[in-house]
């Protein structure tokens, strides 16, 4: 057979859903067919993968070939393909992945020029929804380097996958570099020694390979003992290979630490560990301890602190039972951590599970960034958010310093250092939310302080360079506890605040978007644009730029406007045309101009400007930066909103035809009979004063306010009240009044945002910084010290969902009410938003409220309360009763195992079995086994 240029080995096993995409990607590599040998190795697939492969062979017989074997594993399939290869170069592809277009043409061109034995490229992960940078390969592909080596670039140890590389086939054969068979993670013991053996390596930062993230793949689903044992095996093989080719100790240490921090124990999951047999756990204990004993002590000490504590305990364990306890505790996040500053001014981490301490390194701290608001302001991009380093001390401003801001191009290279305003500020909310160990709920304050985690940046748009890139990302250079980090500006909160419309600066249009990994991206959309603005007195609409013609456009209709000395004139004829519209539709007219005969948008960056007519409202506003004239039907609009002494003061305006109404009322909801009178303040303004009481609103959770207008002729209409374009302090905010939480919502699906109020239990304290933690840590802890209320019983039915209390718990309540009148029943509902006379002598509380935590602490008896709620501490004298919906013969939910995510399953099963046994003894059933 004639030697080809490139052999592509594609092992196949049960990938029918993905195989076509994979093989089609190999046809888009820019390499002539005559230079390709694509070897498909079917490893005993039981679906129709082989049939799909055969169709490609039949369609492209000159370079596709199919070989079928009994199932022997991925390593064996790759090795068979290697032995079948007849080419100068070879590469490997997993059959559920995709090779980026023209990657092989690009990489082969470099290899042929440099004469290197290996070339490696960057990798992205992807699934059906998105694509993102793979963090492991981001650590290994720091730039473009040719004719280099592992010694010069030890970070290559992180790049241990075979499919993002092309090898010289003779190099692999001469060094006997094959994949181990019968183990998982077979790439590592082949790739790491290959790097050490290679005299010359090329590294490209360009993304060449898309690695699919899917459940059910071998590596994604392997989280049992075999995964850990295989990790140990392949790491030892890789270490032996590195030593064979004289890799320096620095390289060996990187692989050691990689196996400790990202391998081995990370393969275990708490929900699966409990089901590993005792024999397998013993094998796991023996192998892991033997492996750890080979580590140099100084290398082991460099492991991440949380991992170090675990491995240190394993080394000291003498029995499998000790190992089991240690591993369970670690996997369930039951180990607590804290930090302190020693006399030498060094920040030290410690644990409540070990005497071992460690002076913190950057590897011990994990950065978590968030973006909360982004605006274009004063020719700058203003970004506000927070970042915290897990386990760090950010309690004082001197512990946190923002050193600089870098702008990164499309390919991740630094374009320039940015001169802009930067500051960090106090944000106690982050400590309250994230400063607790996962095993610490209600003890004595946060374990870590992240108070100075807030940041604000102001980046001048005219300092940014877009000559060689289409977009820019940003990275902060920060110092935390004396350690330096790079913090990417990424991870926006939901909503509009971190997603601004376009920004205008110096006749340029900028936009903000987010990559699939949620990194913020600033793009330059257009250069040299025309912009509308208002004169200082606000009366004249003017235009900046060189436009000589201007028009309004809606759909295919265009209405020419006049330009007089830079002033935009809208003639009476044009006004008449734009007013003749269907009032049920919100019409948008965009301002356009013409450049070289082509339409071009005109931009506007000012605040919305209203122009009132009798039957419609004209609004000039920015639609993603484009100047837009909105023609809208008139609605009642909120003008003022405040709550004083538990009374809602709501003022709203009427315009045009609505001002002719002789009677103006507010209807809580057209489906309800609640009607409130209003007070007329002037010709256009009306006010409603509404006490925010517990009762008077029935069980209605949402109130959709309508303005009822009655006219002289008897005509009556209900018009939905709207927020309009104004901003209000209470818009989309909570207020606490008379034991109820009142949320003033803007329903954005409706034009101008419909005005609505949501009524829930009063959990407003949870929204305020630290208050929930204060209730749990201070008040709840004090309540636990008070005597148990022996005649109090706390009940709920189906966790109070839908605000219902029924079934067996209600029957128990009725029985207790009749036969034990001295007992006080606390009924828990999801949201108690009225009084409940149907439950006399009972107190109604809502989940999550202060009253809820009070009675959790002090009640003697509990019926169907959520016993597993983490912050709750069960007192020894408290008694829990779980009633049963249906009969013990039902499956109790254990027939849907896929819905059980962790070891909660085992705990609930244990409780259920105990409950059924006790019940059987009470009613005289036969003993259950």
HEC string of 592-634 equals EEEECCEEEECEECCCCEEEECCCEEEEEEEECCEEEEEEEEC
User: Which residues have a Cβ under 8 Å from the Cβ of 106 and sit 6 or more positions away?
Assistant: 30, 204, 206, 208
Q: How far is CA 8 from CA 38, 94, 623, in A?
A: 5, 10, 50
Q: At what angle do helices 249-261 and 305-316 cross, to 10 degrees?
A: 90
488: confidence class by pLDDT, cuts 50, 70, 90 = very high
Average pLDDT over residues 817-831: 90
Rounded to 5 degrees, φ, ψ at 84 are -85, -10
How confident is the model at residue 611, as a pLDDT?
Answer: 65
How confident is the model at residue 904, as a pLDDT?
Answer: 52
How confident is the model at residue 48, as a pLDDT?
Answer: 92
DSSP H or E segment with residue 707: strand 706-710
DSSP H or E segment with residue 366: strand 366-377
Contact 163, 209 (CB under 8 A): yes
Average pLDDT over residues 832-849: 87
How confident is the model at residue 152, as a pLDDT?
Answer: 93
Q: Name the residue with tokens 């409940």.
A: 836
Average pLDDT over residues 911-929: 49
d(CA 322, CA 332): 16
Average pLDDT over residues 229-236: 86
% of the chain at pLDDT higher than 70: 88
Average pLDDT over residues 771-780: 69
> Is residue 895 scored above 60 in pLDDT?
no
Reported as a single tens digit per residue, the pLDDT across 570-607 is: 887 787 777 665 444 457 889 999 888 889 999 988 87
112: confidence class by pLDDT, cuts 50, 70, 90 = very high
> Is residue 864 scored above 70 in pLDDT?
yes
Q: 10 Å Cβ neighbour count for 144?
A: 13
How confident is the model at residue 780, as a pLDDT?
Answer: 84
Reported as a single tens digit per residue, the pLDDT across 66-108 is: 998 887 788 999 999 999 999 999 999 999 999 999 999 999 9
How confident is the model at residue 925, as a pLDDT?
Answer: 44
Contact 174, 117 (CB under 8 A): no
Q: Give the CA dihedral 499, 504, 505, 508, nearest 10 degrees.
A: 110
How confident is the model at residue 249, as a pLDDT?
Answer: 86
> Is residue 692 scored above 70 in pLDDT?
yes
- Give me 59's structure tokens: 């369609």
Minimum mean pLDDT among 444-458, 615-629, 776-790, 822-836: which range?
615-629
Reported as a single tens digit per residue, the pLDDT across 246-259 is: 888 888 888 888 88
How confident is the model at residue 868, as a pLDDT?
Answer: 54
How confident is the model at residue 91, as a pLDDT?
Answer: 96
Average pLDDT over residues 428-434: 88
How confident is the model at residue 555, as a pLDDT?
Answer: 82
d(CA 107, CA 120): 8
> Is residue 545 scored above 90 in pLDDT?
no
Average pLDDT over residues 610-616: 57
Q: At what angle do helices 320-331 and 278-293 cross, to 10 degrees?
A: 90
Q: Which of 412-421, 503-512, 566-575 has the highest mean pLDDT?
A: 503-512
How many H-runs (helices) and E-runs (strands) does the chain carry? 23, 52
Q: Is the dihedral of CA 53, 56, 58, 63 positive or negative?
A: negative
Average pLDDT over residues 489-496: 92
How confident is the model at residue 860, as a pLDDT?
Answer: 93
How confident is the model at residue 865, as a pLDDT?
Answer: 64
> Is residue 886 scored above 60 in pLDDT?
no
How confident is the model at residue 678, as a pLDDT?
Answer: 95
The residue that leads in pLDDT, 131 or 17, is 17
The residue that leads in pLDDT, 632 or 493, is 493
Reported as a single tens digit per residue, the pLDDT across 724-744 is: 878 899 998 888 888 888 999
Cα-atom radius of gyration of the chain, to the nearest Å? 34
Q: Which of 227-241, 261-275, 779-793 has the highest mean pLDDT?
A: 779-793
Reported as a single tens digit per residue, the pLDDT across 297-318 is: 788 888 899 999 999 999 999 9
Minimum mean pLDDT among 388-392, 673-677, 772-776, 808-812: which range?
772-776
Rounded to 5 degrees, φ, ψ at 464 are -90, 145
Q: 10 Å Cβ neighbour count for 530?
A: 21
> Is residue 929 scored above 90 in pLDDT?
no
Q: How far is CA 99 from CA 103, 125, 192, 912, in A?
A: 7, 12, 22, 51
Average pLDDT over residues 350-357: 92
> Is residue 896 scored above 50 in pLDDT?
no
Rounded to 5 degrees, φ, ψ at 59 are -80, -35
DSSP H or E segment with residue 174: helix 169-174
How confident is the model at residue 869, as a pLDDT?
Answer: 61
> Is residue 193 scored above 70 in pLDDT?
yes
pTM of the model: 0.67
554: confidence class by pLDDT, cuts 50, 70, 90 = confident
441: confidence class by pLDDT, cuts 50, 70, 90 = low
Continuous H helices in 175-269: 188-197, 218-221, 225-244, 249-261
How confident is the model at residue 268, as a pLDDT?
Answer: 77
Contact 647, 689 (CB under 8 A): yes
51: confidence class by pLDDT, cuts 50, 70, 90 = very high
Pairing of strands 64-68, 36-42: parallel
Average pLDDT over residues 196-202: 94
Nearest CA-CA partner of 166 in 84, 109, 107, 99: 107
The single-letter DSSP state of residue 927 is P
Minimum mean pLDDT among 145-154, 167-176, 193-202, 753-762: which range?
753-762
887: confidence class by pLDDT, cuts 50, 70, 90 = very low
% of the chain at pLDDT higher than 90: 43
Pairing of strands 685-691, 679-680: antiparallel
How high does pLDDT run on average in the chain?
A: 85
């Amino acid at each position: 057979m004639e030697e080809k240029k490139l052999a592509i080995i594609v092992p196949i096993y049960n990938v029918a859903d993905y195989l076509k995409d994979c093989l089609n990607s190999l046809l888009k590599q820019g390499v002539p067919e005559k230079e390709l040998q694509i070897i498909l190795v079917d490893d005993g697939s039981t679906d129709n993968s082989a049939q799909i492969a055969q169709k490609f062979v039949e369609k492209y017989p000159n370079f596709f070939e199919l070989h079928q074997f009994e199932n022997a594993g991925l390593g064996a399939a790759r090795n068979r393909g290697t032995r079948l290869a007849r080419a100068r170069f070879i590469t490997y592809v997993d059959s559920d992945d995709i090779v980026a277009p023209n990657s092989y043409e690009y990489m082969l061109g470099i290899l042929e020029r440099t004469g290197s034995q290996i070339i490696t490229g960057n990798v992205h992960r992807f699934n059906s929804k998105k694509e993102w940078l793979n963090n492991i390969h981001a650590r290994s592909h720091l730039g473009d380097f040719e004719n280099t080596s592992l010694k010069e670039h030890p970070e290559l140890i992180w790049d241990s996958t075979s499919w993002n590389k092309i090898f010289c086939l003779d190099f692999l054969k001469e060094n006997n570099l094959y994949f181990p068979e019968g183990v998982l993670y077979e790439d590592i013991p082949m790739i790491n020694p290959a790097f050490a053996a290679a005299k010359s390596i090329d590294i490209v930062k360009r993304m060449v390979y898309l690695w699919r993230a899917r459940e059910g793949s071998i590596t994604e689903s392997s989280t049992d003992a075999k995964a850990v044992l295989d990790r140990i095996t392949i790491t030892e093989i890789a270490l032996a290979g590195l030593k064979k080719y004289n890799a320096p100790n620095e390289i060996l240490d990187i692989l050691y630490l990689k196996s400790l921090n990202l391998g081995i124990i990370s393969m275990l999951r708490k929900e699966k560990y409990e089901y590993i047999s005792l024999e397998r756990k013993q094998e796991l204990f023996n192998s892991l301890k033997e492996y750890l004993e080979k580590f140099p002590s100084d290398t082991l000490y460099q492991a991440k602190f949380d991992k170090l504590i675990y491995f240190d305990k394993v080394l000291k364990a003498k029995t499998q039972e000790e190992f089991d306890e240690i591993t369970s505790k670690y996997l369930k996040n039951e180990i607590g951590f804290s930090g302190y500053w020693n006399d030498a001014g060094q920040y030290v981490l410690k644990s409540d599970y070990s005497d071992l301490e460690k002076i913190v390194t950057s590897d011990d701290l994990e950065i978590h960034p968030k973006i909360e608001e982004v605006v274009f302001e004063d020719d700058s991009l203003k970004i506000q958010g927070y970042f915290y380093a897990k386990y760090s001390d950010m309690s004082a401003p001197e512990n946190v310093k923002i050193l600089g801001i870098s702008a990164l191009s499309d390919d991740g290279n630094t374009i320039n250092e940015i001169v802009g305003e930067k500051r960090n500020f106090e944000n106690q909310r982050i400590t309250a939310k994230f400063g607790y160990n996962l095993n610490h709920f209600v003890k004595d304050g946060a374990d870590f302080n992240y108070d100075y985690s807030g940041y604000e940046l102001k980046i001048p748009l005219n300092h940014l360079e877009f000559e060689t890139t289409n977009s820019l990302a940003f990275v902060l250079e920060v110092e935390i506890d004396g350690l330096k980090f790079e913090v990417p500006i990424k991870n926006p909160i939901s909503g509009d605040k971190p997603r601004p419309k376009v920004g205008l600066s110096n006749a340029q249009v900028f936009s903000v978007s987010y990559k699939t990994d949620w990194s913020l991206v600033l793009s330059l959309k257009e250069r040299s644009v025309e912009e509308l603005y208002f004169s200082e007195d606000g009366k004249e609409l003017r235009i900046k730029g060189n436009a000589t013609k201007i028009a309004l456009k809606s759909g295919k209709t265009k209405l020419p406007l006049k330009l007089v000395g830079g002033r935009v004139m809208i003639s009476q004829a044009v006004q008449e045309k734009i007013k003749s519209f269907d009032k049920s539709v919100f019409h948008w007219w965009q301002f356009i101009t013409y450049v070289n005969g082509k339409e071009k948008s005109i931009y506007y960056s000012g605040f919305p400007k209203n122009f009132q007519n009798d039957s419609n409202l004209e609004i000039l506003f920015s639609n993603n930066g484009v100047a837009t004239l909105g023609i809208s039907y008139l609605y009642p609009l909120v003008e003022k909103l405040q709550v004083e002494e538990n009374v809602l003061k709501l003022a709203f305006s009427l315009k045009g035809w609505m001002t002719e109404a002789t009677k103006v009322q507010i209807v809580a909801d057209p489906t309800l009979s609640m009607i409130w009178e209003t007070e007329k303040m002037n010709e256009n303004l009306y006010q409603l004063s509404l006490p925010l009481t517990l009762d008077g609103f029935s069980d209605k959770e949402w109130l959709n306010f309508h303005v009822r207008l009655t006219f002289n002729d008897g005509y009556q209409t209900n018009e939905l009240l709207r927020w309009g374009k104004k901003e209000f302090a209470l818009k989309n905010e909570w207020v606490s009044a008379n034991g109820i939480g009142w949320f003033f919502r803007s329903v954005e699906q409706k034009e101008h945002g419909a005005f609505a109020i949501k009524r829930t239990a009063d959990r407003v304290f949870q929204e305020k910084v630290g208050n929930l933690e204060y209730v749990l840590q201070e008040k709840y802890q004090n309540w636990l010290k008070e005597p148990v209320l022996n005649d109090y019983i706390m009940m709920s039915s189906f966790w109070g969902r839908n605000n219902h209390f029924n079934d067996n718990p209600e029957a128990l309540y009725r029985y207790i009410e009749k036969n034990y009148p001295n007992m006080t029943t606390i009924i828990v509902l999801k949201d108690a938003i009225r009084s409940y006379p149907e439950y006399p002598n009972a107190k109604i509380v809502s989940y999550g409220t202060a009253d809820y935590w009070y009675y959790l602490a002090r009640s003697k008896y509990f019926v169907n309360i959520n016993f597993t709620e983490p912050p709750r501490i069960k007192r020894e004298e408290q008694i829990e009763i779980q009633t049963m919906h249906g009969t013990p013969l039902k499956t109790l939910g254990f027939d849907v195992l896929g819905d059980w995510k962790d070891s909660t399953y085992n705990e609930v099963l244990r409780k259920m079995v105990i409950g059924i046994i006790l019940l059987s003894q009470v009613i005289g059933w036969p003993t259950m086994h």
